[in-house]
Every structure is written in C-alpha cells, then in structure tokens.
Structure 1
Amino acid sequence: MKDIMGMMKAASEMKGKMEAMQAELAELVVEGRSGGGMVTVSLSGKGDLKGVKIDPSLFREDDVDVLEDLIIAAHGDAKAKSEAEMQRRMSEMTAGLPIPPGMKFPF
C-alpha cells in the first residue's frame, strides 16, 4: 500500500511540473533560419507562428519560388528546435521514473 501512495504522490507532483513546463513552453520563442540567415521564422514552444523576417534582397519577381522554399525550410528548422527543447525538458522532468522506452509526453 505504501508503494501505491508513493506512486500517487509522484504522479501528482509530475502533473504539477508538466503544467508548469507547458506554461513555460507557451512563452518560449525559437527561431529557425534558412538561406544563411536570409529568412528567419519565429515559433512559440507550442508551434504557433510568431514572426517572419526576410532579407530585402530576396524580393525579386524571379526568386519567388526560392523565397517560398526558404520560408518552409526556416519553419521546419524552428519546429525541430522547438520539439528538441520540449524533449530535453521532458527528459529532465522524468529522469529517474520507470517510463517505457519510446513513450512520449505529453500523452
């Protein structure tokens, strides 16, 4: 019975930590870059687009396709950074807990 109570307490603490981490992630802003920094995309920790910066030299009619590709690449870079940061924070929070390999948080 003591182990169950300990697990319940740990689960309750984990819930509080996860809620705090989600609030932190909502405030986090990560930047993704492409084209050697000519295009920068900012995303929140939850993946919401916060901003796009484009070097003015890319504003030419014949480079529209290139610009579109650079925006997509910068967004992908920012999204990967955001996901990596979330995984890092989750692994810190769950350190020492017997969680099966491959299980991802939040559920």
Structure 2
Amino acid sequence: MNDFTKILDKARELEAKVKESQEKIKNIKVEGVSGSKSVKVTLDGEGEMVKIEIANEMLKEEKSIIEDLIVAAHNNAKIQLKSITAEEISKATGGLGIPGFKWPL
C-alpha cells in the first residue's frame, strides 16, 4: 500500500506542476514577423492573435502580398509558441514523455 501512496503523491505533484505551467503559458506573448519585419503578429499563450502590426509602406502593396505576409507572420509566431510551450511542459514533467498528451496548439 505504501508504494501506491507514493505513486499517488507523485501523480498529484505532477498534476500541480502541469497546472502551474498552464498558468505560465497563458501569460506568454510571442511575436511572429515576416516581410523584413514589415508585418508582426502577436499571439498569447493559448494561440489567440492579440495584435497585428503592418508597416505603413506595406499598405501600398497588393492585397494578396499583405495577406501572405500576415499568414507567414502568424505561422512564425505559432512555431515559437509551440517551442516555448513544449519547453515549459517539459520543465513541469521533468522531461517525461506523457503518451497521448498534446498541447492544444
């Protein structure tokens, strides 16, 4: 029974660490850029776009070019967010691979 108690204690500890990491992740802000930094997109830790900046000189470009740069900046930010999120979860789990666990991004 003692081993089972230890397992439960470790599981509770891991759960607390993961919850703490989730709270930290919510506060993360990442910025993706494209077009020589002429388009910037900011995402929060949950992957929601919270800001977009387009340089004035870009407004003279064709609509399709601006659209492509927005998508590229968003994708750049999302890659950064996935990396930071994975790192944060790894810290919480001590590098344990949790089968089937995927962060919602």
> Normalised by the shorter chain, which TM-score bucket?
0.7 to 0.9
Query: Number of matched residues?
Result: 104
The unaligned stretches of length 5 or more in structure 2 are none
**Runs ≥4 residues deviating over 4 A:** none
The unaligned stretches of length 5 or more in structure 1 are none
TM-score of the superposed pair, with normalisation by structure 2:
0.87
What's the counterpart of residue 48 of structure 1?
48
What's the counterpart of residue 92 of structure 1?
91
Instruction: Please report how far the alpha carbon of residue 105 of structure 1 lies from its aligned counterpart in structure 2 after TM superposition.
Output: 4.4
* Separation of aligned partners in 1, 2:95 and 2:54: 44
Instruction: Please report how far the alpha carbon of residue 80 of structure 1 lies from its aligned counterpart in structure 2 after TM superposition.
Output: 0.9
Indicate the structure whose relative CO is greater, using CA pairs within 8 Å and at least 6 residues apart.
Answer: 2
Question: Is contact 1:90–1:105 with CA below 8 Å preserved after alignment?
Answer: no
The code of the aligned residue for 2:82 comes to E
Instruction: Please report how far the alpha carbon of residue 96 of structure 1 lies from its aligned counterpart in structure 2 after TM superposition.
Output: 5.9
The code of the aligned residue for 2:52 comes to V
Give the CA RMSD over aligned residues.
1.9
Question: Is contact 2:21–2:92 with CA below 8 Å preserved after alignment?
Answer: no
What's the counterpart of residue 5 of structure 2?
5
Instruction: Please report how far the alpha carbon of residue 92 of structure 1 lies from its aligned counterpart in structure 2 after TM superposition.
Output: 1.6
